């Protein structure tokens, strides 16, 4: 199945949105473990705080990937000020 990467940069309310929405987001990730191949926060340069997110997911096509990611509680809560979803070609690393 094709892979897609989502890169999202947090908006100005990022810390508060993450704090209140993280449990629901992690539950959503776990419920969709067969589709989510990798996920985690991108950190500030000093590593002290999250500033965005990266997810690698399986989906039939770009429209399906976009629809799937619209269901993420972080998306619903408006965490990301900017997102980009692109096809991803896995070359190396543990799958």
Find the CATH number of the domain harbouring 36: 3.30.70.1060
pTM, full prediction: 0.91
| Cα separation, 1 vs 65, whole angstroms | 12
**How many structural domains does the chain have?**
1
Predicted confidence (pLDDT) per residue in 24-69, tens digit: 999 999 999 999 999 999 999 999 999 999 999 999 999 999 999 9
Domain residues for the domain of 12 are 3-88
Rounded Cα distance between 87 and 89, Å, is 7
What's the confidence (pLDDT) of residue 92?
Answer: 81
Tens of pLDDT, residues 64-78: 999 999 999 999 999
pLDDT value of residue 93: 79
Domain assignment present for residue 7? The answer is yes
Assess whether pLDDT exceeds 90 at residue 22: yes
* 63 in any annotated domain: yes
Residue 65 lies in a domain: yes
> pLDDT at position 77, please?
98
* Residue 16 belongs to a domain: yes
Pick the closest to residue 8 from 67, 55, 68 (CA basis).
55
On whether residue 21 sits in a domain, the answer given is yes
- Domain-located, residue 94: no
In this structure, is residue 93 part of a structural domain?
no
Asked if the structure places residue 71 within a domain, the reply is yes
Confidence band for 95, pLDDT divided at 50, 70 and 90: low
């Amino acid at each position: 199945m094709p892979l897609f990467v989502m890169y999202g940069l947090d908006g100005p309310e990022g810390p508060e949105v993450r704090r209140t929405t993280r449990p629901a987001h992690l539950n959503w990730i776990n419920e969709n473990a067969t589709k989510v191949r990798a996920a985690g926060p991108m950190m500030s340069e000093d590593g002290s705080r999250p500033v965005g997110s990266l997810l690698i997911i399986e989906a039939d096509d770009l429209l399906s990937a976009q629809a799937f990611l619209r269901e993420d509680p972080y998306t619903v809560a408006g965490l990301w000020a900017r997102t980009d979803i692109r096809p991803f070609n896995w070359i190396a690393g543990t799958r």
